[in-house]
C-alpha cells in the first residue's frame, strides 16, 4: 500500500501534509510518497489521479488501485486510518 501526498511549495499546510505522511510511514509502515505539483514527476502522477488541488492525499494499492482520496485538504488521522485499514 502507498500513500501519495500531492503538495505545491512549502507553506505551513504543505509541511503539515508531509509530517502526516511521515508519521503514517513510521507508525503504520505505510509507504508515503511526496509529490510536488511544481515538479515534472509530480505533475505526471497528478494527471493520472486527476489531482488539481493541494494538498491532496491518495491511498492506493501497490498496483495503483485507489482505496481512498482526499482532494484539496488534509484528512483527519482517523479518516486516513479507516481508508488504510480497508
d(Cα 55, Cα 38) in Å, to the nearest integer?
Answer: 13
pTM, rounded to two decimals = 0.94
Distance of alpha carbon 23 from alpha carbon 2, whole angstroms: 14
Please state the domain count of the chain: 1
What CATH number is associated with residue 35? 3.40.30.10
Structural domain boundaries, residue 10: 2-85
Strand intervals (E) in 1-86? 2-7, 31-36, 56-60, 66-70
pLDDT at 8: 97
What's the rounded Cα separation, in Å, for the pair 43 and 37?
5
pLDDT tens sequence across 9-19: 999 999 999 99
By the 8 A CB rule, do 75 and 4 touch?
A: no
Q: What is the pLDDT of residues 37-60, one digit of tens each?
A: 999 999 999 999 999 999 999 999
Amino acid at each position: 500500500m502507498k500513500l501519495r501526498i500531492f503538495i505545491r511549495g512549502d507553506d505551513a499546510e504543505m509541511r503539515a501534509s508531509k509530517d502526516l505522511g511521515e508519521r503514517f510511514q513510521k507508525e503504520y509502515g505505510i509507504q508515503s510518497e511526496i509529490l510536488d505539483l511544481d515538479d515534472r514527476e509530480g505533475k505526471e502522477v497528478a494527471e493520472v489521479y486527476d489531482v488539481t488541488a493541494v494538498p491532496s492525499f491518495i491511498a492506493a494499492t501497490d498496483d495503483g488501485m485507489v482505496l481512498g482520496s482526499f482532494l484539496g485538504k488534509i484528512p483527519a488521522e482517523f479518516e486516513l486510518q479507516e481508508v488504510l485499514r480497508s
